[in-house]
Every structure is written in structure tokens, then in C-alpha cells.
Amino acid sequence: MDIVALTRKLVDVESITGNEGPVGDVLHGELCHLGYQAEKIPVEGDRCNVYAAWPEQTQPVIVFSTHMDTVPPFIPSSEDSTRVYGRGSCDAKGIIATQIAAAGRLRQEGIHVGLLFLVGEERDSLGAKLANQQPRGSKFLVNGEPTENRMATASKGTLRVNVIAEGRMAHSAYPELGESAIDKLLLVLNWLRAMKLPVDPEIGSCTLNIGIIEGGRAPNVIPDKARAQLLYRLVGPSEELRREIVKTVGDLAEVEFPLEIPFQRLRTLDELPTMVAAFTTDIPWLSNWGQPLLVGPGSIHVAHTDGEYIEKKQLSDAVDLYCVIAKKLAG
């Protein structure tokens, strides 16, 4: 199987989150052509997860999995002598190609691996959450994300936080008649930035990103509303961190916690190189698919960039690596 050609074929099908229908159709067709029993599992509208297994073993012990969706904007594929470029080349359409190739090679050696390709990972893991309600009896889930072909010992979690401040409008020539929500928000954000965050000696530090700040009416109006969206990367349970955030903000603003993806410690295998994934994955939402492992080709440092690419050698090496992992798990 030409993994570079398949990677480019998949990259050239735009599949920004919410529009995965066409790439699901292409994948389903490719897998059927290769002899899999493939099915599209509806998620929302024409968005479908794709599950495939060999006819002789429709409930395999091991399942390879990753996601079909990408972040915007769409960037078509290109290549040079060493790399494939384009949106999704490393996150995660190149990974899809290597997992399909590895599953085909393993079949020739009598090891049957299933394939689970999901929608929505880049936004809310909707495909994974639905798939978790429909497990197929696997004992191991090998999830693919760009780890440069090193096995992740852990994956940091995510805690999203909204901070909302309210004030009172007034003419900016008479600020004493109003109450600035932006002033309150800036004060609160400085307090949060000064907080001491948890550290794990093996995983590293919890980190904070203030991703969005919005508020105000006009330059000559004292603002009555202001809001910030924050994201913490977790290195452990979030309960104490949540309490500290609420305590730090106090009565100056309101705090909401709209989303949490838990921190995960992961299984590794002897003699294979390791890393710590500072990003989150679908793994927390796939607990019914077996013990998780996380590994894949490509660098997370170029994912989501305008120059996203994957090394052709890493694609080839990943096929070998997925075969090694499956053999160890099957043994």
C-alpha cells in the first residue's frame, strides 16, 4: 500500500470539524476495497465514525484508532522528497494511512486488528463519546496522535474556565459614575496568572493560557461586561485547582467550568522510546474500547500550523512500529 499516496488523498478531502462526511465516505470506500468489513456509524447529520475489521475476526482484541477531522483552514496536500504537507498531514490523516497499512501487514501474519476512525476530536470528541456506547469487545486501544513515534507515558488533561466580570456603564468622561468590568477582569486575570500551579515530577507543570478576552461597548463608555476564556493543561486531578481558582477570583467575577478532559497515565511497552503528551486526545472518552496506548508519527509542534507536514520516513517507521506494538500486545 502506498502510504504517501493515501495520506495525500485524505488530506485533499476537506474535513474541518463538522464537515467530516466526505472523508468518512472516502475512508469507507478504501477499506471496503481492501477487503475489510467496514461500516459507517452515524454521529450527527452526515458525520459518521468508520469502524472496520477483517471478515475472519470482526471483534479483534486490538483496535487502532485516530480522528478524521482537522482544524481550519483547509490546506491541500503537496510533497517533496522527504515530507508530505497539508492540513491533517500529521494530525491525523498520515496516521490513518499508517494504521491501515499496519493492519494489512499484520493480517498476513495472522494478527487481526480493527480500525476505528472518529469525528470531532478537535472540538468536543463527539465521535469518541458515541463510539464508547458501542464497543466491540477489544482489550487494547492504540490511539494515534503525533508523538514522533514515541509512546506517551501520559497525556495532560484540559480544564476550560470562563471568567465573567460585570460592571456599570457610564460616560468615560465621568468614570466615577460607572464601574469598569474590564478593570475587574484584568485584576482577576493577574491574580490567576500569579497562582502557583501543580507540578508532577514525571509529567511536568500544569500550564495556563488566557486564550480569549472580550468586553466593552465603545472607547468612550465605561464597560459593564467583560469575559475571558482560559485553558489549563492538567497534570493530575482538577478538584483542588478548581477550588483555588474560585477562591482567587472571589466575589470580583463569576467562574464557569464548561469542559474538562481528564489527565491520563498510559501504558508503555518495554524498549520502546517514550514521551509525555502535553495535549489531550480522544482516549478519556474511549474507556470501553480497552486499555489505551498513545503513539503516532509526526510532530505536534507543526500540527495546526500553516506549514503542517509529516516526514515520509516517520510514516514508514510508524507502520513498522504499529506492527511491533500489536505483536507485543497479542503475545
Catalytic positions, please?
Answer: 121
**323/83 Cα distance (integer angstroms):** 22
Cα-based distances in Å from 321 to 146, 148, 290, 324, 325: 13, 11, 20, 5, 6
Inter-residue contact 214 to 226 (CB < 8 Å): yes
Cα-based distances in Å from 158 to 3, 44, 208, 258, 297: 32, 24, 10, 11, 23
Instruction: Give CA 157 to chain center in angstroms.
Output: 11
**158/130 Cα distance (integer angstroms):** 20
Contacts of 134 (CB under 8 A, 6+ apart): 41
CA angle, corner 284, sides to 280 and 287, nearest 5? 150
Of 156, 164, 139, give the one whose Cα is nearest residue 262: 156
Inter-residue contact 233 to 119 (CB < 8 Å): no
